């Protein structure tokens, strides 16, 4: 079988030199029906390899329960690439960053508050081992040594930006080998030596991630003591991601391609990150945290200003790359010009039914109880929203309610009336001059998880209320909570009314009739502010109209069906016009 080797100054496959020209496409950010299209366009552009992360939280959403179906069918994605004649680089390290919820780590790890992430903590390594025991054999079948397309696998991701535990890295390497990988393994870090000192091992192939100044970056990488092999950039950032409340990031095609050309002419191997970004469907968008901006969640679009747009259309950047790579192509097939994906403007849809989220909580989750208030992970919850409920004796005409450490956005109710909405970035979580008018008052707090931190020192990002709720005076902690951990992964139990909602947050429902085979379309939330959207039970992702930059959500045709389509919107703040509009063009800023 072919053998992929790392020589002193080059890669070799079956004894022949190979310059890896790779592009990142994440199978979990594109519906499976479109995988072949995106991969074919990668090959037609002149790339010989596709790279993908593997998110642990997608494949083991609950401990011991594994998912490799539908958008999680990584084997189908790899086989599709192989069928098209592409090589594959897989990054199955349990942490992926990738602007993905919790960097790919499953939220259930946070239930054990004594567990330490991304180090040789015995409890953590046991969880990783159980996951690798299932995942790695699936990948091993597709190694080039078994006649498959996979050339290399990564053991950890930018670990030098987080830690320096060599025992932990050795454990990952050992387990990947134990469960069947016999191809080269690598690490990827920043090119500065302090990253490399923490993030890699002497005998492991080292790559660098960067977006500019390739000569300088490769000189730094290759001057690291013990470096071996050819220079490789495992993430060439040709675009960037977006946070809510910031501008849409772009990068000029000519400048991005010129930098890429410089690397190729140096003989370096490169992974173009991203070649096709795709979408943070559902609740899988991550977040950054720290500095002046505080908590910064990702938008739903992961367009990344990539050569292929979120919907898979070619761009000027694609055309320039295709022209550049004509001299590097391994085949001479003429793939022609790829026309834009057909889209449809299905028009406006009235959301005629509604039901409050707070009143629906018993239908969406089984009630749990706890003496102190706890983060959602302690109730076994990963995503969605959590409702906390307790009774406060009164009357108390004027007090201060302190909600300590909200992750990420809270709606506070007293006796069924919303009195405040608090965001994680607010200067204070105190609510002044609160009245508890009755002898027995019902305090309810709905907290939305807007995405766990995916990079940096604040990775341990519990959700919900992570400290306490107090009355001041008399600085009294409130105990005795009833809790509804609403994952919002199944909304079929909701009971709607034709009446206008009596409060927010609230669900709205409408229907769209499509008489013919569906086409891609884009959903605009008219007169709505902030929430999430489901179509036919598929969670498209979050919207936040006043923050932007994204104003429409991408709706892939396979999510729709000919005939009646159910649209459900969870609006947290308020609605002026309960309508959505299906449009033919995307608006992401």
d(C-alpha 283, C-alpha 120), whole Å: 29
What strands lie across the sheet with 11-13, from one edge to the other?
4-6, 11-13, 16-18
Selecting among 60, 235, 462, 579, the annotated active-site residue is 235
Helix/strand/coil for 389: strand
d(C-alpha 57, C-alpha 382), whole Å: 10
Q: Are 24 and 51 in contact (CB under 8 A)?
A: yes
Exposure on the CB side of residue 111, measured as CA atoms within 13 A: 13
CA 485 → CA 375, 382, 388, distances in Å? 10, 9, 9
Q: Are 240 and 251 in contact (CB under 8 A)?
A: yes
Q: Which DSSP string corresponds to 35-49?
A: HHHHHHHHHHHT--E
Exposure on the CB side of residue 318, measured as CA atoms within 13 A: 22
Which runs of E-coded beta strand occur in 4-149?
Answer: 4-6, 11-13, 16-18, 21-25, 49-53, 87-91
Q: What is the DSSP letter of 325?
A: G
d(C-alpha 22, C-alpha 236), whole Å: 10
CA 176 → CA 47, 173, 202, distances in Å? 27, 5, 17
d(C-alpha 250, C-alpha 235), whole Å: 17
Q: Among the residues of 331-444, which ranges form H helices?
A: 357-364
Q: What is the DSSP letter of 228?
A: -
158 is known as an active-site residue: yes
d(C-alpha 499, C-alpha 522), whole Å: 28
Exposure on the CB side of residue 320, measured as CA atoms within 13 A: 16
Smallest Cα–Cα separation from 287: which of 101, 118, 423, 104?
101
Helix/strand/coil for 276: strand
Neighbours of 110 (CB within 10 A): 21
Which positions ≥6 away from 201 have C-beta within 8 Å? 166, 169, 170, 173, 187
235 is known as an active-site residue: yes
Q: Among the residues of 179-308, which ranges form H helices?
A: 193-199, 214-222, 253-265
3-state per-residue secondary structure call for 438-458: CCEEEEEEEEECCCCECCCCC
Burial (CB count <10 Å: 0-12, 13-18, 19+), residue 1: exposed
How far separated are the first and last CA of the chain, in Å rounded? 49
Smallest Cα–Cα separation from 34: which of 556, 587, 566?
556
Smallest Cα–Cα separation from 25: which of 106, 87, 101, 94?
87
Q: Are 569 and 541 in contact (CB under 8 A)?
A: no
Which positions ≥6 away from 338 have C-beta within 8 Å? 41, 44, 313, 314
Selecting among 158, 353, 448, 579, the annotated active-site residue is 158
Catalytic residue numbers?
158, 235
């Amino acid at each position: 079988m072919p053998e992929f080797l790392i020589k002193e100054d080059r890669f070799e496959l079956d004894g022949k030199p190979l310059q890896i020209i790779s592009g990142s496409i994440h199978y979990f950010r594109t519906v499976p029906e479109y995988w072949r299209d995106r991969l074919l366009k990668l090959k037609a552009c002149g790339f010989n390899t596709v790279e993908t992360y593997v998110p642990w939280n997608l494949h083991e959403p609950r401990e011991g329960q594994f998912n490799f179906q539908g958008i999680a069918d990584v084997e189908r994605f790899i086989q599709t690439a192989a069928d098209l004649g592409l090589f594959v680089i897989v990054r199955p390290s349990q942490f992926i960053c990738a602007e993905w919820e919790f960097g790919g780590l499953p939220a259930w790890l946070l239930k054990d508050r004594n567990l330490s992430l991304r180090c040789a903590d015995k409890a953590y390594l046991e969880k990783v081992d159980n996951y690798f025991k299932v995942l790695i054999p699936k990948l091993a079948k597709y190694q080039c040594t078994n006649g498959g397309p996979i050339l290399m696998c990564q053991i950890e991701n930018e670990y030098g930006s987080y830690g320096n535990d060599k025992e932990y890295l050795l454990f990952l390497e050992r387990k990947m080998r134990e469960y069947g990988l016999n191809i080269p393994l690598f690490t990827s870090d920043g090119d500065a030596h302090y990253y490399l000192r923490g993030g890699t091992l002497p005998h492991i192939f080292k790559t660098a991630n960067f977006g500019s100044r390739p000569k300088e970056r490769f000189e730094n990488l290759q001057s690291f003591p013990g470096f071996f092999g050819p220079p490789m950039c495992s993430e060439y950032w040709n675009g960037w991601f977006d946070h809510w409340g910031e501008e849409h990031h772009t990068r000029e095609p000519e400048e991005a391609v010129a930098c890429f050309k410089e690397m190729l002419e140096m003989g370096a191997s490169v992974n173009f990150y991203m070649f096709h970004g795709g979408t943070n469907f559902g609740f899988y968008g991550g977040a950054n945290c720290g500095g002046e901006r505080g908590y910064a969640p990702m938008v739903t679009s992961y367009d990344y200003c990539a050569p292929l747009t979120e919907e898979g259309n070619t761009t000027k950047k694609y055309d320039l790359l295709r022209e550049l790579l004509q001299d590097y192509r391994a085949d001479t097939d003429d793939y022609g010009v790829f026309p834009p994906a057909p889209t449809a403007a299905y028009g406006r849809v009235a959301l005629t039914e509604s039901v409050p989220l707070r009143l629906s909580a018993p239908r969406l989750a089984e009630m749990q109880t706890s003496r102190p208030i706890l983060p959602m992970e302690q109730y076994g919850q990963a995503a969605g929203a959590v409702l906390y409920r307790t009774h406060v004796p009164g009357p108390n005409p004027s007090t201060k309610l302190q909600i300590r450490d909200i992750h990420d956005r809270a709606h506070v109710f007293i006796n069924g009336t919303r009195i405040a909405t608090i965001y994680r970035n607010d200067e204070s979580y105190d609510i002044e001059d609160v009245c508890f008018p009755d002898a027995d008052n019902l305090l309810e707090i709905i907290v939305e998880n807007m995405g766990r931190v995916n990079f940096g020192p604040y990775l341990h990002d519990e959700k919900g209320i992570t400290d306490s709720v107090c009355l001041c005076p008399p600085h009294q902690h409130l105990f005795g909570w009833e809790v509804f951990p609403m994952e919002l992964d199944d909304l079929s139990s909701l009971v709607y009314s034709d009446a206008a909602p009596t409060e927010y947050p609230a669900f709205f429902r409408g229907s769209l009739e499509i008489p013919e085979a569906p086409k891609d379309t884009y959903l605009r939330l008219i007169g709505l502010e902030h929430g999430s959207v489901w179509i036919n039970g598929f969670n498209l992702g979050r919207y936040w109209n006043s923050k932007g930059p994204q104003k429409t959500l991408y709706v892939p045709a396979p999510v729709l069906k000919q005939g009646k389509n159910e649209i459900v919107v969870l609006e947290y703040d308020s609605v002026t016009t309960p309508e959505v509009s299906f449009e033919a063009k995307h608006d992401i800023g």
